[in-house]
Amino acid sequence: MSRTHRRLTLLLGLLATTAMAGCSCGEGPQGTTPAKDAGANPDPATVSIVGVVVGPDEKPVAGAKVALGLHEAETDGVGRFFLGVAADAGRALRITAEGFAKAERAVDPSSSAWLSAGTVVLAKLSASGEVDGAGGTVGDVASGVKVEVPAGAFSRKVRIEAALVALDDPLVADAKLPAPLPQPANAIAAPIFGLVLEAEGEQPAQPLAVAIVSSAGLPAGTQVPVGRFDLETGEWVDAAVATAQADGSLAFAVDHLSTFAASLPSLPKDPTEAPDLDALSRVPSPFLPGEPRVDPRSGALQIGVELPALVRRGARIGL
């Protein structure tokens, strides 16, 4: 299947689940397999959640478990799920499948009788391993991610799972993250990385040191704010500051395991006045130097150094 065909398939899946969410009929969406606890004719007191689960190759993931609170369903042979839940079941929709990192989506069952989770793209595990109270290391930079667990971080033996989320394709980047990354007011931000960290639902008592491979080519010492997705609020919140290392990797510490992501401004929103081919122009950056934080008005993750974009005839050539 060609890359263009896969893009179209993914978009059609997203449109299909959106259309199903808009259905007001009493039966389940046409062509879907009902969840184990929902039945073909869900109780009027329940809320129906539909979606499609695919892998990083955009092929359907059959048998993936989709859960919200005590309610659970499995995807069918083409990756679709149909889950009936109570209106007060919670907000954290979790999708798990063998060999993939857990995916999370924030939903609000109290807002509508039909909800669409859209197309969920699962990430393959980059590294996994068990650690106990003595701590240890999971993965290495060669695998894409390394997690250093200090002694005392966990009170029992747990399995650490880490997955790098490739965000180089803007067409499907949003489907790989719990929610779209915030955008600055006068620029277009390009995602640098996404990362999923999980430890059997446990949270560490001490921060974990994380190092990930990065193709951004940032100079050593460059600091980049890292956002963490908060399932309770359904928003990205400030989590850490990653520092570019001499080998090009990014290192940061986390004290709460979840889904992480970072981005930097790459293009102005109006590149019509781009410079000539032989000239470079720095685009004014909305990010404040020395204050890595989330802007309370726009929700944009703000970088800790002044790093405006470089453009040539409106095309991206750098950050």
| Per-residue pLDDT tens digits for 53-69 | 999 988 999 999 999 98
- Report the amino acid identity of residue 164: L
Lowest mean pLDDT among 41-55, 83-97, 110-124, 259-273: 259-273
Q: Collect contacts of 150-156 with beta carbons under 8 A, ≥24 apart.
A: 150/206, 150/207, 150/208, 150/209, 152/205, 152/206, 153/204, 153/205, 153/206, 153/208, 154/199, 154/202, 154/204, 154/205, 155/205, 156/132, 156/202
Phi-psi category of 200—alpha, beta or left, where left has phi over 0 and alpha has psi -120 to 50? left
Q: What number is the average pLDDT over the span 20-37?
A: 40
Q: Is 246 exposed, middle or buried (0-12, 13-18, 19+ CB in 10 A)?
A: exposed
Q: Count CB atoms within 10 A of the CB of residue 196.
A: 28
Residues 237-276: tens digit of each pLDDT: 889 989 999 998 999 999 999 999 988 766 554 544 444 3
Kindly state the helix (H) or strand (E) to which residue 262 belongs, with its residue range: strand 259-268
For residue 82, what are the CA distances in angstroms to 9, 25, 99, 190?
Answer: 19, 14, 22, 33
- Phi then psi for 173, rounded to 5 degrees? -60, -40
Q: Is 236 exposed, middle or buried (0-12, 13-18, 19+ CB in 10 A)?
A: buried
- Report the amino acid identity of residue 146: K
pTM: 0.71
- Confidence at 33, pLDDT banded by 50, 70, 90: very low
Whole-number Å distance between alpha carbons of 132 and 206: 13
Dihedral, 67, 73, 75, 77 alpha carbons, nearest 10: 160
CATH 2.60.220.30 maps onto the chain at 127-316
Q: Is 113 exposed, middle or buried (0-12, 13-18, 19+ CB in 10 A)?
A: middle
Using alpha carbons only, give the angle 52, 91, 254 rounded to the nearest 5 degrees.
95
Alpha helices in the chain (DSSP H): 3-21, 173-176
- Phi then psi for 142, rounded to 5 degrees? -60, -30
Q: What number is the average pLDDT over the span 277-301?
A: 42
Whole-number Å distance between alpha carbons of 283 and 91: 39
pLDDT at 29: 36
Tokens coding 310: 């470089």
CATH number of 127-316: 2.60.220.30
Q: Which residues are 135's β-sheet partners?
A: 132
| Average per-residue pLDDT for the chain | 76
In CATH terms, the superfamily for domain 3-121 is Immunoglobulins (2.60.40.10)
CATH 2.60.40.10 maps onto the chain at 3-121
| Residues above pLDDT 70, as percent of the chain | 67
